[in-house]
Amino acid sequence: MKNAQFCKLSQLTIFFLASFLNINSHAFSCRSLDNDPLLKKVIDQIKSENIHLESCKDSKVHLTFDDGPSDKTTKPILDALNKRKIKATFFITTANLASGKPNINIKEQIIKNQLQSGHLIASHGHEHNSYDLRITNSREEGYSSSERKNQIAESVRLLNKATSSQFDKQSIKLFRFPYGRGAMPSQKEIEEMERMKKLIFKGESYAEKLAEYRRQSPALFQIADYNFSHLGWNLDSNDSSLPMSMPAENVVIDYVKENVQAMCNPKKDIKVALYHDIKEVNVRAIPLIADIGSCLGIDFISGQEMMAQKTSLTRDGVLISLKSTMKATVETVDEIGKLLNDLNKQNKQCPEKKSLAKTNTNSCYSEYLKKSFNNCEGQSSICYNGKWYGKEDPTIILNCGTKY
Ligand SMILES: [Zn+2]
């Protein structure tokens, strides 16, 4: 979505000029919708450091905000986004809405407003703890399976309560594990899982093991049970390293400059940017990042526009869609099917097994039940063309109907 109507004219002028003058000469001038005097200071710094901004044009960025809502900082950030017609995703930490917490009514109203103004509401869990092993300086932590289930259920309940059940009616349902753990374990954590025999990895490199982890993560399976896809991020604003309260002006200037610069990185198709709406710095910085970014041609896309690029997000490891989690289950069943077929082939000395293998091109053998199944037959899994599938797999629904 082009949200920079306010500076369309100046934007056109900039790119017209840029084509002659080379944008590196920084022949750009943007204006702040809030007449913020910091804008000029940020632009002056960008110019003085000769930062390359050629690739900003048409860079697609989706803004996400975690850990809110805060009754102090979320509303001004939301107002700034709405003023600029930028649609974000808010990953709510629902413990903020739990009984006994201050200003619950105000926070629930903020979430309603977010939804009504076209932002996505997503779950960041109930309490802000890790959904799988997380190694901190002094200890290992992470929810057990039953704790995770309770946390997800409580989060969904409170989000529906805050939104009069509109949360569940959103067409896009996203979850983000606190710290990303459960979807994005570190190398050290994967090694520790291996040592603890929590999961078995076949791959060698961290990337291979991370991919395997995602195919068998119990935490991901649990959120898939609630129809959630997991959305991580590939652009960290680094606001975690800043204090909760407003930092000094020079820190804000550097933060805005570095964030705009990161948004112009041409290496990624879509940037999913991680912010925290509980940090005061973002009250000051988000309007500036949005104004300078829009002026330079950055396209701040909505959650719907972002999810239309699923392939790219999945390839980049940012999105682990509900479908890919379900597919992973089917792959496992497939692997068992292949293994059994191989075993059947190895047993070809045995006349009965040989005839079974011969007739098996369109049937599947269940070692557990000691019998073969034809197309569209099965019990916990369904056979089709010699392979086992999950009952809800598109191949089964397409070829066998939805009788299961
Ligand atoms: Zn968080």
208 has a pLDDT exceeding 70: yes
Q: Which two tokens stand for residue 268?
A: 């990624």
Question: Mean of the pLDDT values across residues 221-242?
Answer: 96
Q: Which two tokens stand for residue 131?
A: 């959904």
pLDDT band, residue 397 (cuts 50/70/90):
confident
Q: 121: helix, coil or strand? A: strand
Q: What is the pLDDT of residues 309-366, one digit of tens each?
A: 999 999 999 999 887 766 565 555 555 566 556 656 655 543 443 333 334 467 888 7
Pairing of strands 387-389, 382-384: antiparallel
Do residues 371 and 364 lie in contact, with contact meaning Cβ atoms separated by under 8 Å? no
CATH architecture, domain defined by 45-182+217-320: Alpha-Beta Barrel (3.20)
Q: Please report where in the chains the tokens 């950030």 appear, as a residue.
A: 77
Ligand 1 centre distance from Cα of residue 115 (Å): 20
Question: Mean of the pLDDT values across residues 8-33?
Answer: 52
Residues ≥6 apart with Cβ < 8 Å to 16: none
Residues ≥6 apart with Cβ < 8 Å to 116: none
For residue 115, give Cα distances in angstroms to 118, 168, 314.
5, 12, 25
261 has a pLDDT exceeding 70: yes
Ligand 1 centre distance from Cα of residue 176 (Å): 8
Nearest CA to 68 out of 14, 17, 106 is that of 106
Nearest CA to 183 out of 331, 333, 324 is that of 324
Of the listed ranges 31-35, 286-290, 311-315, 359-363, the least confidently predicted one is 359-363
Question: Mean of the pLDDT values across residues 278-305?
Answer: 97
Highest mean pLDDT among 20-24, 70-74, 136-140, 327-331: 70-74
Which stretches of 224-267 are assigned E, i.e. beta strand? 229-231, 235-236
Ligand 1 centre distance from Cα of residue 182 (Å): 13
Ligand 1 centre distance from Cα of residue 68 (Å): 9
Residue 372's H or E segment, with its range, is strand 371-373
367 has a pLDDT exceeding 80: no
Q: Based on the number of CB atoms within 10 Å of its own CB, is 179 exposed (0-12), middle (13-18) or buried (19 or more)? A: buried
Packing angle of the helix pair 74-83, 104-116 (nearest 10 deg): 20
Q: Which DSSP state fits 228?
A: P
For residue 83, give Cα distances in angstroms to 25, 69, 77, 79, 215.
30, 19, 10, 6, 41
Mean pLDDT (the chain, rounded): 85
**pLDDT attached to residue 138:** 67
**pLDDT attached to residue 326:** 61
**pLDDT attached to residue 373:** 85
DSSP, residue by residue, 169-183: H-S--EE--GGGTTT
Q: Which two tokens stand for residue 36?
A: 């913020």
Ligand 1 centre distance from Cα of residue 260 (Å): 22
Ligand 1 centre distance from Cα of residue 248 (Å): 24
Ligand 1 centre distance from Cα of residue 65 (Å): 9
Q: Which DSSP state fits 165?
A: T
Q: 38: helix, coil or strand? A: helix
**pLDDT attached to residue 401:** 72
Q: 384: helix, coil or strand? A: strand
Q: Which two tokens stand for residue 218?
A: 């119990």
Ligand 1 centre distance from Cα of residue 163 (Å): 21
Bridge partners of 184, per DSSP, are none
10 has a pLDDT exceeding 60: no
**pLDDT attached to residue 339:** 56
**pLDDT attached to residue 338:** 62
Higher pLDDT, 97 or 135: 97
Do residues 318 and 60 lie in contact, with contact meaning Cβ atoms separated by under 8 Å? no
**pLDDT attached to residue 92:** 98
12 has a pLDDT exceeding 60: no
379 has a pLDDT exceeding 90: no
- Cα(253)–Cα(267) distance, integer angstroms: 24
Q: Please report where in the chains the tokens 């629902």 appear, as a residue.
A: 94
Domains of the chain, by residue range, sit at 45-182+217-320, 324-400
Percent of the chain's residues with pLDDT above 90: 59
**pLDDT attached to residue 243:** 97
Q: Which DSSP state fits 147?
A: H
Ligand 1 centre distance from Cα of residue 178 (Å): 5
Higher pLDDT, 173 or 350: 173
